[in-house]
Every structure is written in C-alpha cells, then in structure tokens.
Amino acid sequence: MVATAVGQSEPGDRRPGRLELERRDVISQRSWPTIAIVVAFLVIVPVAFLSVSVLRPNTDVWRQQWQTRLPGQLLDTAVLLVGVGFGALFLGTAMAWLVTAYRFPGSRVFGWLLIAPLAMPSYVLGFVTLSVFGFGGPIAGVWRSAFGDDAWFPQIRSMGGAIIVFTLVLYPYVFLLARTALAEQAGGAYAVARSLGASPGEAARRVVFPMLRPALAAGVGIVLMETLTDFATVQYFGVDTVSVGVFRIWRGTFDRDAAAEFATLVLVVALAVIGLERALRGKARFGEAAGKAAGVSATKLTGFKAVSATVACVAVLALSFGAPTAQLVMWAIDEATGSRGTPLVGRFLDFLGNSLVLATLTAVTCMIAAVVVVNAARFSRSRVTRWATRFTAIGYAMPGPVVAIGVVLALVALDDGLEAIGLNLPGVIATGSVLGLVYAYSVRFIAPGLNAVEAGLDQVSEEVTASARSLGTRPSSIIGRIHMPLSRASVLTGSVLVAIDAVKELPIALLLRPIGFDTLSVWTFNLASESRFQQASLPALAIIVVALVPVALLSRQLAQGPEIE
Amino acid sequence: MTSPLVVSNVVKQFGDVVAVNDVSIELQPGELLALVGPSGCGKSTLLRSVAGLLDIDAGAIELDGTLVDDGVRHLPPERRGAGLVFQEHALFPHMSVRDNVGFGLRGRSGSEAAARVAEMLDLVSLADFGDRYPHELSGGERQRVALARALAPGPGLMLFDEPFASLDHNLRVQLRLDVGRALRSTGTAAVFVTHDQTEALAIGDRIAVMRAGHLVQVGLPETVFHQPTDRFVGEFMGDASFLPVATSTGQISSALGPLRVDAGVDINSIVAMVRPDDVTFRASATGSATIVDRQYGGSGWLATARLGDGTDVLVATSHLDPPEIGSQGDLELLKGHEQVPVPLRHQS
C-alpha cells in the first residue's frame, strides 16, 4: 500500500519508545461508543422482541383475523393515513405560506398562535367534535327542528370526521417545519424568481415548495406516525385501524403473543410510512441555510384580501383550538356548579400528579440519554458510535402500541431472567411498574429530544470542540463548559417537546399502566368512551393546560425569531 | 534540542481514499513550516492528524520527542498540547475575550493566569478587549483572540488551518505579520496550512507542497519557487510558462534558447520553466511572437505571448509599456535570468 517516496522517508527509521496511553485515556476513548451502544440497545430491545415473536407465528390468530376484521382494518388504516396526510400537508403548508409571505392584520401573532393545537390531543378534539356535531348534539338538533327529522345531516361519526379531526390537531407539525424553512432558507430563490417576473403564487409553486420538500416530507412523516399511533380517537369515530386491533386483542384476551404479532403489523405500516417519507424527501436533507437574512420577504395585503387572510387564520384556530376549549370550559363550569359532579374528581390531584411525574421522569430520562448519545457521536471517531446514535432515533418509527407490547415482552423476559438467576421478584415489579411505563415512554419519545439536542450541538462547530480539546479539556468537561451552555435553549426545547408528548400520550398508558396508576389522559379516555363527554371536560382541560405551558415556551421562541449567535 | 514535530511515514485513509500517503516531515525548533497545496491534497488532514482530531492509520507522529500516535494507539487531542487556530476562529461565544484566552490555563493560580492572559492580549494588541464578547469583535480581532487563546498555555507547537481564508486581502497581510511576530517572540514552532501560495511564500521559513496525499517538495521558499521538483509545483507556486525542449546540434534548448541540463536526464521528461519576470517582449514587425492577451496588475502588465509553435509564454511588462494585443515581437531572457529544466512529473 505504501510506496516509499524518493527523498522524503529518511526520518521513518527512528522510532522513539512505545506509546503508552494512560488508563483514563483508554477509558475515555472506549466509554463513548459503549454508552451509545447501550442506549441504542435499550431502544431497540422492545422492537427486537416483537420481531422475534413473528418468527413463530400463531396461524390460528392470523387466519381468524384475516377472515374477520383484518382486511377492513388495513383498508381503514390506509384511507385514514392518506386523508390525514394530504389534509395536514395542505393546511400546514397553506398556513405557513400565509403567515410568512404576507403581512395582514394579526399575521405576526398567528405566526406563533397557529401552533396552539399542539396542546390539543386528538382524542379530546375528537370527543368534543362528536358531542357538538354528532347526531345527538346541539347543531344536529337545531338542524332537525328547522328542516324536519329526516333532513340530511352529515354523519360526523365517520372516516371523514376522523380525518378532519386529525388534520386540525396535527397540521402544526407541517406548519412548524414549513415556517422555519421559509423563514431561513427559501428567501433568496424566492426573491430571484420574483425579480424574473413570477407572481408570489407562481414563485411559491415553482420555486419555494420544491425547496421545502424535505421539510414538508418530515412534517407529514410525523403527522402520519401520530395518526397511526392513535387508537382512541379512531374508536370514537368508528374507524377500525390496525392499532385498534392491537388494543382490542390485548384488552380482550391479554394474549401477549397474539397482541405482539398484531403489533408487528402496525410496525410494518410505520416502516412503510418512513419509506414514503424518505422517498418524498429524495436525496435532499434539510437544505442549507443561505445566510442570515435569507427568509421570504413578506408582501403586504390590503382590503378584502387582508380580511380574508385574517378570517382564514381565525377560523383554523377556532375550529382546532378555540371553540373546543371554550366548550370544555363551559362544560367544566357546568360540572363544577351542577349537582352531579365529575366522577373521581376527588382523585384529580392524583391523576394530575401521575401525569406530571411520568412526564418529568420521561423528559429527564430522554434528555440525559440524548445529550450523552449526541455528544458521544461528536467525541468518538468510531463508526459504531454514529450508527448507534442513528438507531436510537428509530423510537419515533415505533407507534405506541408497538412500543407498549414490545416493552411488555422485554420486561417479561427480564422477569424470567431474574427468576432464573434466583432473584425471585414479584412479577409486577418489572411488568407492571411505573419504571416500565417510563421506559416505554422514553423509547417512544426520545427522538424529538435527540433531534433537539442534535440541532443544538450543530450550533457548536466541530472546530469549537476541537479548540477546547486542544486546550487540554477532557470531553466530559467540555460538555459542561462548552456544549451545554451553548445548546441550553435546544435542550430545554427538547425536554419540553418530550414532556408534551408524555402528558398527551394515551395508548402506552392504557396498555401498560400499573393497576390504579391512572393519568389524566386515561381518565379522560375512560369517561369519553362511555360518552360522558361533559364529565370528561375537567381532565381534558387539565391536559390542555399542562401541554400549553411548553407550547407557549415554543411560541415565545418563534415570536422572537431565530436565536442569534 | 528535540524537534517540536516529527511526522514519519504517516498514512491516513478515508474509506478507499488515501488522503495522506506516506508523508514524513521534521520541524526545527522555532521554525514555521507553510504546508501548501490545492484543495483536497491532504494538507488539512495531515494537520488534524497532528492535532489528534484524526487517528492515523500508519506511521508515527512525535511532538517534542513524545510519541503521540503510532497508527494503533492515539493520544487524545487534550493530551497533545498543540495550539490550534482554525479559519472559523472557533471562539467560545458565551465567554468574554478574557475567559476565552484563559480557557486553557486551568491548574495555574488565579493571579498567574490573569497575568498570562494580559500578556497574551498584549501580544496580539488587544489589551483593552478583555471584557468584550466574540460577537462584538471584527473578523481580524476574533482571529487574534483565537491566536492568543491557543498561545496562552505555551504550546510547543502551533497548528494553523487556513486561518485567514475568510478575511479580506489587507487584513490578511496584517495578520500574517502579527502571527509571525507572535511566534518569533514566543519561540514557538508552527505548521501553517494554506491553499494560497503567496501566503505560503510570505510566511513560511520552509515550504512543504502537497499533492494528492503526497508530499512533493519541502524546501526554502525561494528554492520551491525557483527550482520546483516538477511542473505541478512550478505552476502551483506562481505564474509560469513551460516550453518544450529539444536537442539540436548537440545543444539542449527551447524556443528561448539553450538551457543547462544535468547529464543523464531524459529530455523527453522535462520542460523549460520561465517566470514572467524572466523574459521581455521586444516589439518587431518580423518577430515570431504575438501578444494574444493581457491583464493589468497595478504595478505592471502580464501579457501572454504566443510563439510560432503555439506555446504561450507569460511576460511581465512595465506599466509604462502596455503590450498591445496583436502586436508582434521577440521574446528574450533577461540578463542573469535562466530557464529552469523541470521534470514533467515528480516520481512519487
């Protein structure tokens, strides 16, 4: 391999003494890949157990499912995903374009207010919509008294209704990514297109949206994952997806293996969604930011156009957040002043506490893991570390039912293992504990935390890290002195995103919670699934309030614009 | 005295690409070596390997007589004690200038560290800037802070990775002088990576030229400029023309006349190099050369003269004597200037 070059290899013969590394150097060099591998392993274990269960399929279960519900479930899943995907893509992109490319009364405020539905769980908007627009609801009542009992009225408890509800609560994911991309990247190309004579709309269609494709694909990817993970909202609307299938088998039979096999089906759909996202994204990753003032410059709207823009924003916000929240508040006041009272209201603080404990533990776990893994990738040169980091992010590819059933299988195996080595703990410790719940939540929600920490550390150039090291600072101390102070805002944002997800999370809580450990989301779901909508208002509002705190933090950051170095 | 840096047969690969291929260099104490080459030649990779930011695949690196990398074991950068300055200054944005410069001074008492910081800021003429933050500084000031920060712990070796590439010309010249002065006054040896041959010639005590992972020439600036090991080095180090050579009546010559070639050299593997300042253009209606192009450079003109056989020769002319495109004349070597026989390609 090495050809000796003429006249330049004389010093090659001298070899001073051996290179002896100190123990702590060796430990430091080896610990980064090790930590990254351990974290990746913990994330992958549940899905690995799940996949193994397919290797010994129970054909009876499959045959029975195939002959009964499965074909319909596959169809419903596909229709729902396609409908919500297009709905959120359209609504999110349109709103992002409206608030970025135009100035109209309230456009700045709407720029951050439009993410409010992030605080609204789909199962809450779902039951409020059903009770207001459903057959027995007030609107249908007024309609019937005006046009007669047989007058046509849209059936809200349907696939269409479910698609509308998911679109309204999930569009902010597309909106957020599109808005950021518009504000940071697409400005230069947009300005050039306009200077070449294109109208704003034409420049948007031909230049800006193709540039936004990676961001839009990522946003739609998240939306589809959130839709797939749900099995509460879809049940209200009578939509029978594969996730509902897992829930039904697990709750009906507690047959771990059958549920596991069904959960792999959900996983397959999730992988298909990821494949789709990658394909849509094409070779482009997120585009390069082209300097600081690279955002799309806004055109001022006047007259009718300006009013229409404001009305459109108000309408979206009202339908997705304002009106349902107002309805919940009215119900809650009713409940509080009425004689009937919310069932279990005495345990409200318990449920709230459970939700907060769970969210806090999950956020702390995820952020510690994310900070360690992302820093490991920076400090370690081995390819293994980079791969491990990438694997850690696949939690996001695993819908709630997949993670839940996978964690059950893993913890049962752990229980069995502990028993085998003579540690005979009662089974509930591993399988029915808050620890198991936090583990499942962390596997599921580490991805947003990881993304946030990665984005934060991207702000700190490799050269800054290298400079600190060459000045004699060890990696562990660089994290504390350089990396954390410089990425604090991102780490905070990440923990907040994880916490919102944890408070809103329902499927994993329903499947895995220890007996008696109910969260706000479980309480809400139990009441709403018995059609006690008005009584579900108090816990639902509590979830929205808790989730609003982090959303407000995020909004404030958006309102202030991008952080300047 | 031990050498501040010995690089022995270093090989660094990225997948199938050999970025640094069997490179050996030894630095003298206090010496500034300019490492120059086109982008992608491996110069930054070599520098980063010395700093410990990359692990080498084979060979050895010694700093001040201590082996820091033998291709198997790699001492981490924090234990190598080499000072680093990057193009993107890489200051810590959340720390004041004073804290940046003092960052590497842990283990010293407070007053000792403070004195050292003051001394360093003084060295880079930023004595009053201690309380400022990086975002309050100009590009040149940031780079001087980065220099002070890297010099503060008293490294045995300084490594510069294209430090001035993003600055404008005048600032670059000034900073070059500042760096030279700071290094001389502290007696620190340095490797200075640049793709700009003017910068390399101006700053280096010696120059090392790299191409495609190989070190093709190491020598004094004037040697590398006037006696390049091959046509690539000659071309890379500055404007030059290369004329084919042939033997006629026992005399080896080019279109510009005879040249001296060592015995035993295959004349088919060499060309004759002339720099634009070696030749003059004398207008004459019967001349064999035609001016086909010209560029104005302020202190003079750079003309392209095309010979009868189609060879282009660059000629420097005085600003008093603008070459007219299309004019004819003869090219002559200036008195005392010679054509240099240059191998087409160095064997490496």
Q: pLDDT for B237-281, tens place per residue?
A: 999 999 998 887 778 888 888 888 887 788 888 999 999 999 999
Of the candidates A486, A404, A467, the one whose C-alpha atom is nearest the C-alpha of residue A438 is: A404
Could you give the CA distance from residue B157 to residue B5 in angstroms, rounded to a whole number?
Answer: 7
Helices then strands, counting H and E runs in chain B, come out as 8, 21
Of the candidates A275, A164, A177, A261, the one whose C-alpha atom is nearest the C-alpha of residue A225 is: A275
Could you give the CA distance from residue A21 to residue A25 in angstroms, rounded to a whole number?
Answer: 6
Q: What percent of chain B has pLDDT over 90?
A: 63
Q: Do B266 and B304 form a contact (C-beta atoms < 8 A)? A: no
Per-residue confidence at A432, pLDDT binned at 50, 70, 90?
low
Q: What percent of chain A has pLDDT over 90?
A: 25
Q: State the sign of the Cα–Cα–Cα–Cα dihedral B137, B141, B143, B147.
A: negative
Q: Each residue of A21-42: pLDDT tens digit?
A: 788 888 877 888 899 999 999 9
Q: Each residue of B215-243: pLDDT tens digit?
A: 999 999 999 999 999 999 999 999 999 99
Q: How far is A291 from chain B (nearest CA, A)?
A: 15
Q: Taking a contact as any Cβ pair under 8 Å apart, which residues of chain B between 266 and 325 contact chain A?
A: none
Per-residue confidence at A7, pLDDT binned at 50, 70, 90?
very low
Give the residues across from B82 on adjacent strands.
Answer: B157
Averaged over B152-176, what is the pLDDT?
A: 90
Give the residues across from B283 on adjacent strands.
Answer: B329
B330's tokens? 């003869």
Q: What percent of chain A has pLDDT over 70?
A: 88
| Pairing state between β B300-306 and B289-296 | antiparallel
Residue whose entry in the numeric block shows the structure tokens 């339908």: A319
Q: State the pLDDT at residue B37.
A: 93
Comparing A363-372, B7-16, B257-266, which segment has the lowest mean pLDDT? B257-266
Question: Which range scores top for mean pLDDT: A400-404, A444-448, A462-466, A536-540?
Answer: A462-466
Comparing A10-19, A79-88, A509-518, B319-328, which segment has the lowest mean pLDDT? A10-19
Buried b (16+ CB within 10 A) or exposed e, B209-241: bbbbbbbbbbbebeebbbbbbbbbbbbbbbebb
Q: Cβ atoms within 10 A of the Cβ of B80, count?
A: 26
Q: Cβ atoms within 10 A of the Cβ of B154, count?
A: 14
Which are the contacts of A287, defined by CB distance < 8 A and separation ≥ 6? A181, A185, A211, A214, A215
- For the purposes of burial, counting CB atoms within 10 Å of the CB of A335, is it exposed (0-12), middle (13-18) or buried (19 or more)? middle
* Candidate from A12, A16, A21 with C-beta closest to B62: A16
Per-residue confidence at A286, pLDDT binned at 50, 70, 90?
very low
Contacts of B79 in chain A (CB under 8 A): 22, 25, 472
Could you give the CA distance from residue A412 to residue A429 in angstroms, rounded to a whole number?
Answer: 10
Could you give the CA distance from residue A61 to residue A63 in angstroms, rounded to a whole number?
Answer: 6
Instruction: Read off the DSSP letter of residue A484.
Output: H
Residue whose entry in the numeric block shows the structure tokens 């190598």: B80
Backbone phi, psi, residue A460, to 5°: -100, 110
Could you give the CA distance from residue B298 to residue B343 in angstroms, rounded to a whole number?
Answer: 33
Q: Do A294 and A188 form a contact (C-beta atoms < 8 A)? A: yes
Let me know the angle formed at the C-alpha of B217 by B215 and B222, rounded to the nearest 5 degrees.
150
Quick check: B27 pLDDT over 80? yes
Q: Do B255 and B284 form a contact (C-beta atoms < 8 A)? A: no
* Contact yes or no for A19 and B73 at CB 8 A: yes
Quick check: A384 pLDDT over 90? no
* Contact yes or no for A2 and B21 at CB 8 A: yes
Q: Each residue of A177-197: pLDDT tens digit?
A: 888 778 766 677 778 888 888
Q: How far is B119 from chain A (nearest CA, A)?
A: 17
Q: Taking a contact as any Cβ pair under 8 Å apart, which residues of chain B between 8 and 37 contact chain A?
A: 8-9, 11, 18, 21-26
Q: Do B52 and B12 form a contact (C-beta atoms < 8 A)? A: no
Q: Do A489 and A497 form a contact (C-beta atoms < 8 A)? A: no
* Contact yes or no for B92 and A468 at CB 8 A: yes
Domains of chain B (ranges; CATH) run 6-235 (3.40.50.300), 239-343 (2.40.50.140)
Could you give the CA distance from residue B332 to residue B320 in angstroms, rounded to a whole number?
Answer: 19
What global pTM score does this model have?
A: 0.80
- For the purposes of burial, counting CB atoms within 10 Å of the CB of B335, is it exposed (0-12), middle (13-18) or buried (19 or more)? exposed
Could you give the CA distance from residue A192 to residue A105 in angstroms, rounded to a whole number?
Answer: 27
Comparing alpha-carbon positions, the chain B residue that sits nearest to A24 is B76
Q: State the sign of the Cα–Cα–Cα–Cα dihedral B90, A471, B42, B202.
A: positive
Which are the contacts of B45, defined by CB distance < 8 A and separation ≥ 6? B12, B19, B20, B54
Q: State the pLDDT at residue A418.
A: 77
Could you give the CA distance from residue A521 to residue A231 in angstroms, rounded to a whole number?
Answer: 13
Which are the contacts of A381, defined by CB distance < 8 A and separation ≥ 6? B54, B55
Q: State the pLDDT at residue A316.
A: 95
| CA distances for A148 relative to A130, A435, B99, angstroms | 21, 56, 79
Could you give the CA distance from residue A185 to residue A187 in angstroms, rounded to a whole number?
Answer: 6
Q: How far is A12 from chain B (nearest CA, A)?
A: 5
Comparing A346-350, A470-474, A497-501, which segment has the lowest mean pLDDT? A346-350
Q: State the pLDDT at residue A1.
A: 35
Give the residues across from B7 on adjacent strands.
Answer: B25, B61
Q: Is A149 on the interface with B (CB under 8 A)?
A: no
Cα of first residue to Cα of last residue in chain A, in angstroms, is 46
Question: Which range scores top for mean pLDDT: A82-96, A184-198, A428-442, A525-539?
Answer: A82-96
Buried b (16+ CB within 10 A) or exposed e, A53-74: beeeeeeebeeebeeebbeebb
Q: Each residue of B123-145: pLDDT tens digit?
A: 999 999 999 999 999 989 999 99
* R_g of chain A computed on alpha carbons: 26
Contacts of A378 in chain B (CB under 8 A): none
* Candidate from B60, B78, B348 with C-beta closest to A473: B78
* R_g of chain B computed on alpha carbons: 24
Could you give the CA distance from residue A448 to residue A429 in angstroms, rounded to a whole number?
Answer: 29
B51's tokens? 């700093």
Residue whose entry in the numeric block shows the structure tokens 């459970």: A354
Q: Do B287 and B328 form a contact (C-beta atoms < 8 A)? A: yes
Q: Do A414 and A49 form a contact (C-beta atoms < 8 A)? A: no
Q: Do A108 and A269 form a contact (C-beta atoms < 8 A)? A: no
Could you give the CA distance from residue B100 to residue B102 in angstroms, rounded to a whole number?
Answer: 5
Per-residue confidence at A200, pLDDT binned at 50, 70, 90?
confident
| CA distances for A237 relative to A109, A171, A349, angstroms | 33, 19, 30
Instruction: Read off the DSSP letter of residue A291.
Output: S
Q: State the pLDDT at residue A90.
A: 95
* Candidate from B8, B62, B92 with C-beta closest to A464: B92
| CA distances for A121 relative to A127, A246, A280, angstroms | 10, 21, 27
Of the candidates A133, A223, A144, the one whose C-alpha atom is nearest the C-alpha of residue A178 is: A223
Q: State the pLDDT at residue B236.
A: 93
Q: State the sign of the Cα–Cα–Cα–Cα dihedral A49, A54, A60, A65.
A: positive
A1's tokens? 């391999």
DSSP B14-39: ETTEEEEEEEEEEPPTT-EEEEE-ST
Comparing A12-21, A27-36, A321-330, B54-63, which segment has the lowest mean pLDDT? A12-21
Could you give the CA distance from residue B124 to residue B71 in angstroms, rounded to a whole number?
Answer: 37
Comparing alpha-carbon positions, the chain A residue that sits nearest to B69 is A19
* Candidate from B66, B90, B348 with C-beta closest to A463: B90
Which are the contacts of B46, defined by CB distance < 8 A and separation ≥ 6? B7, B10, B12, B20, B23, B35, B210
* Candidate from A4, A12, A469 with C-beta closest to B77: A469
Which are the contacts of A530, defined by CB distance < 8 A and separation ≥ 6? none
Q: Taking a contact as any Cβ pair under 8 Å apart, which residues of chain B between 51 and 110 contact chain A?
A: 51-55, 58-60, 62, 65-70, 72-84, 86, 88, 90-94, 103-104, 106
Averaged over A323-344, what is the pLDDT?
A: 79
Q: Is A27 on the interface with B (CB under 8 A)?
A: no
Per-residue confidence at A291, pLDDT binned at 50, 70, 90?
very low
Averaged over A2-31, what is the pLDDT?
A: 60
Using DSSP's 3-state secondary structure scheme, residue B58 falls into strand
Which are the contacts of B306, defined by CB distance < 8 A and separation ≥ 6? B289, B290, B291, B292, B312, B313
